[in-house]
Structure 1
Amino acid sequence: MTDWLGPQEWQAVTLSLKVAFWATLLSLPLAVFVSHALARWKFPGKQIANGLVHLPLILPPVVTGYLLLLIFGVNGPGGRVLDTLGVGIAFQWTGAALAAAIMGFPLMVRAIRLSMEAVDQRLEQAAATLGASQLRVFATVTLPLALPGILTGTILGFAKAMGEFGATITFVSNIPGQTQTLPSAIYSFLQVPGGEAQALRLVIVSILIAMAALILSEIFARRLAQRMEGA
Structure 2
Amino acid sequence: MLVRNRAARLLVHTVAIALLLAMFALPFLVIILGAFATSWSGVLPSGATLGNFAAVFTESATANTVTASLVTAFVATVLALIIATTAALAARRTPWLKRIIDTVFLLPVAIPSVAVGLALLMAFSSGPLRLNGTVWIVVVAHTVLVVALAYQPISAAVVRLDPAFEEAASALGASRTRIIATVVLPLLRPALAGAAAMCIAMSMGELTAMMMVAPPSWRTMPLQVFSFTSRGIRLYEGAALAVLLLLITLIALLVLQRMANRRTGITR
In the superposition, the TM-score normalised over structure 2's length comes to: 0.71
Match for residue 172 of structure 1? 214
Distance 1:54 1:189, change over 3 A: same
More off after superposition, 6-15 vs 162-171: 6-15
Equivalent of residue 100 in structure 2, options 48, 52, 65: 48
Equivalent of residue 163 in structure 2, options 108, 121, 124: 121
Q: How does 1:1-231 map to 2 (within 5 A)?
A: 4-5=56-57, 6-38=59-91, 40-42=92-94, 44-73=96-125, 75=126, 80-83=127-130, 89-172=131-214, 175=216, 178-222=217-261, 224-225=262-263, 228=265
The alpha carbon displacement at 1:130 in A equals 4.2
SS state at 2:218 partner: coil
* Contact 1:9/1:198 (8 A) holds in 2: no
User: Separation in 2 of the partners of 1:149 and 1:165?
Assistant: 26
User: Separation in 1 of the partners of 2:228 and 2:93?
Assistant: 48
Task: Extract unaligned runs of 5+ from structure 2.
Answer: 1-52
Identity %: 27
Max Rg structure: 2
User: Separation in 2 of the partners of 1:156 and 1:9?
Assistant: 24
User: Separation in 2 of the partners of 1:119 and 1:45?
Assistant: 18
User: Separation in 1 of the partners of 2:177 and 2:62?
Assistant: 46
Match for residue 40 of structure 2? none
The alpha carbon displacement at 1:45 in A equals 4.5
RMSD: 2.5
SS state at 1:81 partner: coil
Distance 1:10 1:130, change over 3 A: closer
More off after superposition, 27-36 vs 205-214: 27-36
**Matched residue type, 1:48:** I
Match for residue 28 of structure 2? none
